[in-house]
Chain A
């Protein structure tokens, strides 16, 4: 079988290349791995970075959240992940769930016909302004937060950390991970930044708690 032959050849080449037996160094990890800031400061930093990326940021608590969601999603048909906390939802929101009448998940074209998606999130890194989705039940599969042109993302305050290492600590690699830092963007034409290409062109973040 030529595949195992290819593998054997490559590994033997590599072993031969390493016959000087280089020693793997210990990785020095002097970089910051835990925050020294207060939580309020960290949340402020996240807001600042998100705004810098041209995301719209709101701060809400349990009582004001449904109202804000109603306002942001008033004009759209919104898809909701199955595990989304129903206490967040306002009355009268026009929504769909991620399955057809026969129980199958929506197709790509069906998702494309929808206006918006509402999800939660697993952790957010303030220093880089990055929201991590990790395939949780209240985030849905990856296509949900990708195909509709408007993403409303709830960031519970207790999921906000300052540093990237702190964020990775909370990731489960068994499930897909999507790191989102602002709406999609391109600078491919004369380096002029254009917000919004293929991913959602509008990103609304609700800091919640």
Chain B
């Protein structure tokens, strides 16, 4: 865990640890995944199917937008009132016989769980699918402590037995087809024989018999939580298979790990979220089972209930007013299912527990934008805007992506050394300080690195200023990326300025090379993962940059498909462009403004 001393005793910005980092840079990983045509086909099928189902059940509700508005407002309220709501929640859980623990980071949460399991003298536990426990790497940790954690969700079980990683929030084993699953089960699941076919019903039956024994005998269960109600201390788990009910009901001890942002103020707020979540997630009117419990109920369910409230970087996310709404996420995965980048790269390419558009904004914020493992993630998007439209709590993912790209550049733009100690300390102060420094501070003396930064030529500053405008529009971003080779040439004389890679080259993660990378995200896609100097050279010739989102690549190719997807957001981008121009004309600074106002984007897309 990285902590940053802000010079205020006792107060630190603390980033998260655990499975939040990319092990392989996104582009490298994505390149490998792109070759996996089976996986691409599976994911394509899944995302398109769920997308269609979602659209149908959402269209059924006349008040869907009203529900989204309510959901968004409630989540904003949770952020604004978090300390008070957490205190209230703890008091209510405790009053009902639960024990509340607080975990500053992944290691602390893992330690608390391990101690609780040890105290029960057991070596096996059953688990409900939970992103929080995946984030902290609980299973691996327990394994190291000699405790076996059995995943009980069918998809998680497939992933666990296959010694694989989840690739989708909702359907984590979507990258495996029935033959692969049959093979994993017959190899790794005790008690399976020749009768095991590749029929989904047969495979599900095998899992049922295998897990039933675990449910009946295991005395400790571990779960996550979809919602926690401050006003009552009630916890909620949403699921389909009944494995959640088994884990929450049959064992003697229940341990729940919940991120602090999962709170809702009032019990009645559930009436909003139990409508938003299933329709956005599985595209059902309602998921088969939702369980709610408040502390311990005598004669019904576990006799002992422990709740672990997890920070692990969430407070750091909350500290950035422009990015904090990433914490509103209810993990429905709708944004994954509509994302052209996710569809083609797959969930594994994002590295972190949180894939897709939400992962691209959440992971880098949890770890800090300066964490090099994740600083390419904000570039893993074409800013087409579909993720925002489907998000049930209206998280403006494209704007946050742009904001984080901006942050990434700032981190690298000569402020890197400073950033290493101060991180973004937070954004507010950094910007204030920057503004003041730009106006009055004399040329810094002494530290050569400092001096060098200040000598960035004025052309650079102009470019930098332009970057704010450029990044406020997906179209312009594309143009800038195509202009990259130009920048590359221009930078060479200055010995490798470090900020440009942040703007367009984070994707390629060429941090050790002191000049910007020679290909950009979009170009990389165009070439289907092939590194083509040639194409870049062609781009260099095309300095008029009359790029349109669709069109120029035949639709039969993968790249063509991507561009067609991008065209989907073309109207939104057009609006963004107009708006940026208007703002500029009015003399407003567009540097920090989001891509479009939400209303405009929405209106345009629905038109």
Interface residues of A (CB under 8 A from B): 3, 6-7, 9-18, 20, 22-33, 49, 52-53, 105, 108-109, 112, 125, 127-130, 135, 141-143, 146-147, 164-165, 167-169, 171, 173-192, 194, 196-200
Contact = CB atoms under 8 A, between A and B. Distances in A.
Contact of A31 (B42, B66, B81, B212): B66
Interface of B: 6, 8, 10-14, 42, 45-46, 49-50, 62-63, 66-67, 69-70, 73-74, 76-77, 79-83, 86-87, 90, 101-104, 108, 152-155, 158, 171, 173-174, 177-178, 181, 200-201, 203-204, 207-208, 211-212, 215-216, 229, 232, 234, 240-243, 245-246, 248-250, 260, 267-272, 274-275, 278, 282, 284-294, 297, 299-301, 309, 311, 315-316, 318-319, 321, 324, 426, 428
A129 B285 contact: yes
Given A20-B321, A143-B250, A164-B271, A194 B200 contact: yes
Contacts of B153: 188
Contacts of A186: 154-155, 204, 240-241
Nearest to A27: B73
A105 B299 contact: yes
Nearest to B155: A188
Contacts of B81: 24
B80 A22 contact: yes
Contact of B216 (A12, A112, A177, A187): A112
Contacts of B321: 20, 22
A196 B319 CA distance: 44
Nearest to A198: B242
A21 B232 CA distance: 25
A199 B241 contact: yes
B513 to A, nearest CB: 35
- Binding site of A, secondary structure by majority: helix, strand, loop or mixed? loop
Contacts of B288: 53, 180-185, 199
Nearest to B152: A198
Contacts of B272: 31
Nearest to B236: A177
Contacts of A194: 200-201, 204
Contacts of A6: 101-104, 108
B234 A109 contact: no
B181, B245, B324: which has the most chain A beta carbons within 10 Å? B245
Contacts of A174: 294
B286 A128 contact: yes
Nearest to B81: A24
A77 B173 CA distance: 37
Contacts of B232: 173
Contacts of B234: 173
A142 to B, nearest CB: 5
Nearest to B72: A25
